[in-house]
């Protein structure tokens, strides 16, 4: 009898297939090859009852794959260990992307219950892999011989990330400490889900109901109409409703002269998670901070921040605080000047009160009108959502040759969603982009970039990415299309920048290019520079009624006012970044009083009483709804230094679409994650970034 020697991966596939066919319900769409354009998810076929069995099956299959790799008797090599791990978990990855993508956009009580069940299952599964001693020995052996192997830069980075995954995943811990580690991870995963669910409910709440038409004084007609439709959606008849979604509460604070109503709405927003009720998050977050210290200490790190920053460009907490401190002084100075300007208007009007946080937006609008003869409502007619989307696409075309074609034959998960096929200049398919820009109760607040599939190229099989851009922008009203604010326009360009990164980045392995959190915001934030560039505005800012291009006079006003309110914008952001670091540089696991801890630290910092942090501990989703941006919220300002410096490279050529610079930046996007981020940036810029461009851009120098 002739023996056939199978590769480790072929054996895994055969065993896994035999095992999985025993109990699987083949009507479950996750077990099939999707017969849709580009194998996009068939959302219409996916039902709630499909998720849990698919997760369970995905975990079973991945367990078999991992055990086969760990128990392989042959010498560990890159391909039979790291490569095999990357090829594994295909079903689990497939269900993960769809479930969590939809749980953040069209969630409901049933999905949240599934999430409650699945999250600890996945946490245990990941811990089982990271604490598999045989598997770690194989990874370690390959890691120790990395210099002898002929690895590409991507393979080296992937190997180093895998090794650190295992070390930070508890592989070196004693048996007793491994159990402690597991329990901490399980509890953290459950707490993070609960935090996110509570804040979703808090954010969707109605913050202000108006039943007296006189209380609508000063509000633009579009804002009033939006409040009417929000009230209808909430089942409130004959009244006007404002929610705690930014697109709803911000215009009210900008335009309403009713100070007590502004205070009521603003207070409702900043006290999300801090109302001593069933949705309160104080105990959740303090327990999470405590557990994170315990986990870091178990692994030999002084703080959670040390644990998280090891992979980032910053490397350690001292580097983060150094950057924040460099920006804090000029930002506070500028913010004090801005507050003084507003106080002058209050005094001039005979207000007889001191400027408070709920007054800032209202009087900032007055200052803008007085100093620059500019207000938001003058600009909104030129920022019709569809035109802004087209503008972002035009920028991508001019920079990178990308073409965007709307596809109506690709399934969507909600009627608000639009889908675009992305091709390069030669017509080659690059990927799919889903856009989902309107708020709803089933959707998380804020804006983000996600996806339903990563790009990869294993075994010569090139798989293109499925990318999502989500936001909560101003909705269309009965008589007007969606007209965006400047902040919403720049946010759209920001998330589109993330999408371009995902579409252009080329990787062999689906997990091959993990970009540090303080570098990943560079591709997004740099796009914001094009959003308000005079040359670009002329391409897409057209009046929604007449089609007239935005007049030069308004463009000039935008240019002149670019430093307006930048002290406030920077201070409120920096305050949140400090808050993140304060919680995560704790060296003991004592559970603090969240409100007292926050108040004391902001007092030491010298936060102005007229400004609240962008987020409070009790609603800081970035850092307490999972590990996500914990110890990483600073990354936006770290990347802001990079993005201002990077855009300066285009300006130095006197052409924001300079082909040579665009190609160099495209190469940065293609290769991001394949080598050290600073080395990659220096290849693009020819030197390390300087903080000067950011200070100049924000008028803080």
Active site residues: 495
CA distance 157 to 618: 36
Helix (H, G, I), strand (E, B) or coil at 475: coil
CA distance 315 to 79: 30
- The answer to whether the beta carbons of residues 227 and 207 sit under 8 Å apart is no
CA distance 439 to 445: 8
What is each CA distance from 572 to 27, 662, 690, 694, in whole angstroms?
Answer: 51, 32, 23, 17
CA distance 682 to 358: 43
Q: How many CA atoms lie within 13 A of 291 on its CB side?
A: 23
Helix (H, G, I), strand (E, B) or coil at 615: coil
What is each CA distance from 569 to 123, 251, 573, in whole angstroms?
Answer: 37, 16, 6
Q: What would the two tokens of residue 532 be?
A: 């308000």
* H/E run at residue 607: none
CA distance 516 to 504: 17
Q: Which of 331, 373, 363, 355 is nearest to 566 (CA)?
A: 331
The full DSSP string for 1-21 is -PPP---HHHHHHHHHHHHHT
Contacts 24+ apart (CB under 8 A), 74-79: 74/8, 76/137, 76/138, 76/139, 76/141, 76/142, 77/142, 78/142, 78/149, 78/151, 78/155, 78/159
Helix ranges (H only) for 376-418 are 376-379, 385-400
The residue written with tokens 């920022």 in the block is 383
CA distance 42 to 36: 7
Helix ranges (H only) for 505-593 are 522-531, 534-540, 552-560, 566-584
- The answer to whether the beta carbons of residues 170 and 131 sit under 8 Å apart is yes
Helix ranges (H only) for 245-351 are 246-255, 259-270, 282-298, 304-309, 317-348
Q: What would the two tokens of residue 627 be?
A: 């590990």
Helix (H, G, I), strand (E, B) or coil at 261: helix
Dihedral angle computed from the Cα positions of residues 211, 213, 215 and 216, in that order, rounded to the nearest 10 degrees:
120
The full DSSP string for 18-84 is HHHTTT--TTSGGGS---SGGG---GGG--HHHHHHHHHHHHHHHHHHHHHHHT--SPP-IIIIIIH
The full DSSP string for 537-561 is HHHH-B-TTT-PBPPHHHHHHHHHT
Please, what's the b/e burial string for 600-639 (b: 16 or more CB within 10 A of its CB; e: otherwise)?
Answer: ebbeebebbebbbbbbbbbbbbbbbbbbebbbbbbbbbbb
Angle, vertex CA 442, rays to CA 376 and CA 191, nearest 5: 110
CA distance 549 to 187: 55
Phi-psi region of 89 (alpha: psi -120 to 50; beta: other; left: phi over 0): left
């Amino acid at each position: 009898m002739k023996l056939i020697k199978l590769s480790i991966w072929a054996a895994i596939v055969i065993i896994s297939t035999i095992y999985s066919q025993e109990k699987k319900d083949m009507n479950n769409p996750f077990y099939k090859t999707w017969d849709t354009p580009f194998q996009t998810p068939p959302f219409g076929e996916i039902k709630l009852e499909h998720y849990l069995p698919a997760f369970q099956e995905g975990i079973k299959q991945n367990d078999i794959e991992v055990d086969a790799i760990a128990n392989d008797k042959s010498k560990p090599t890159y391909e039979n260990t790291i490569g095999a791990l990357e090829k594994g978990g295909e079903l689990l990855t497939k269900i993960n992307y769809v479930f969590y993508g939809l749980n953040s956009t069209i969630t409901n009580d049933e999905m949240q219950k599934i999430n409650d069940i699945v999250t600890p299952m996945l946490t245990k599964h990941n811990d089982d892999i990271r604490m598999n001693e045989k598997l770690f020995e194989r990874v370690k052996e390959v890691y120790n011989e990395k210099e002898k192997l002929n690895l590409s830069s991507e393979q080296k980075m992937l190997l180093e990330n895998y090794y650190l995954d295992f070390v930070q995943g508890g592989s070196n811990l004693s048996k007793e400490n491994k159990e402690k580690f597991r329990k901490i991870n399980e509890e953290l995963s459950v707490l993070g889900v609960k935090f996110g669910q509570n804040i979703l409910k808090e954010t969707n709440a109605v913050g202000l109901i108006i039943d007296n038409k006189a209380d609508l004084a000063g509000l633009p007609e579009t804002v009033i109409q939006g409040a009417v439709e929000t009230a209808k959606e909430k089942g409130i008849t004959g009244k006007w409703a404002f929610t705690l979604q930014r697109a709803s509460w911000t215009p009210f604070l900008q335009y309403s002269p009713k100070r007590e109503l502004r205070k009521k709405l603003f207070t409702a927003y900043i006290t999300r998670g801090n109302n001593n009720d069933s949705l309160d998050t104080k105990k959740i977050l303090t327990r999470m901070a405590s557990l994170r210290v315990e986990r870091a200490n178990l692994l030999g790190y002084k703080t959670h921040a040390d644990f998280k920053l090891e992979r980032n460009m910053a490397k350690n907490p001292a580097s983060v605080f150094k950057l924040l401190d460099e920006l804090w002084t000029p930002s506070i100075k500028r913010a004090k000047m801005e507050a003084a300007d507003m106080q002058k208007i209050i005094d001039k009007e005979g207000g007889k009160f001191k400027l408070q946080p709920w007054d800032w937006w209202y009087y900032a609008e007055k200052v803008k009108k007085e100093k620059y003869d500019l207000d938001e409502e003058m600009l909104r007619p030129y920022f019709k959502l569809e035109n802004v989307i087209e503008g972002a696409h035009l920028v991508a075309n001019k920079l990178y040759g990308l073409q965007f074609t709307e596809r109506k034959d690709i399934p969507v998960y909600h009627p608000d969603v639009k889908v675009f096929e992305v091709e390069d200049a030669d017509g080659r398919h690059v990927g799919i982009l889903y856009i989902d820009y309107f708020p709803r109760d089933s959707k998380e607040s804020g804006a983000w970039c996600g996806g339903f599939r990563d790009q990869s190229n294993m075994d010569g099989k090139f798989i293109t990415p499925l990318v999502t851009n989500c936001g909560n922008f101003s909705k269309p009203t009965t008589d007007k299309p969606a007209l965006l604010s400047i902040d919403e326009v720049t946010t759209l360009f920001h998330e589109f920048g993330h999408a371009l990164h995902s579409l252009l980045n080329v990787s062999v392995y689906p997990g091959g290019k993990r970009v540090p959190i303080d570098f990943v915001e560079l591709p997004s934030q740099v796009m914001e520079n094009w959003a308000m560039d005079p040359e670009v505005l002329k391409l897409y800012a057209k009046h929604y009624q007449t089609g007239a291009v935005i007049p030069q006079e308004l463009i000039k006003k935008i240019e002149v006012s670019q430093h307006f309110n930048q002290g406030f914008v920077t201070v409120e952001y920096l305050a949140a970044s400090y808050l993140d670091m304060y919680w995560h540089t704790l060296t003991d696991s004592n559970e603090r009083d969240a409100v007292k801890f926050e108040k004391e630290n902001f007092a030491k910092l010298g936060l102005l009483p007229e400004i609240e942090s962008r987020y409070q501990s009790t609603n800081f989703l970035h850092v307490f709804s999972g590990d996500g941006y914990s110890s990483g919220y600073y990354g936006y300002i770290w990347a802001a230094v990079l993005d201002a410096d990077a855009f300066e490279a285009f300006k130095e050529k006197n052409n924001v679409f300079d082909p040579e610079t665009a190609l160099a930046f495209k190469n940065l996007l293609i290769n991001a994650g394949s080598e050290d981020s600073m080395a990659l940036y220096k290849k693009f810029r020819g030197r390390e970034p300087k903080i000067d461009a950011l200070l100049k851009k924000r008028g803080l120098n």
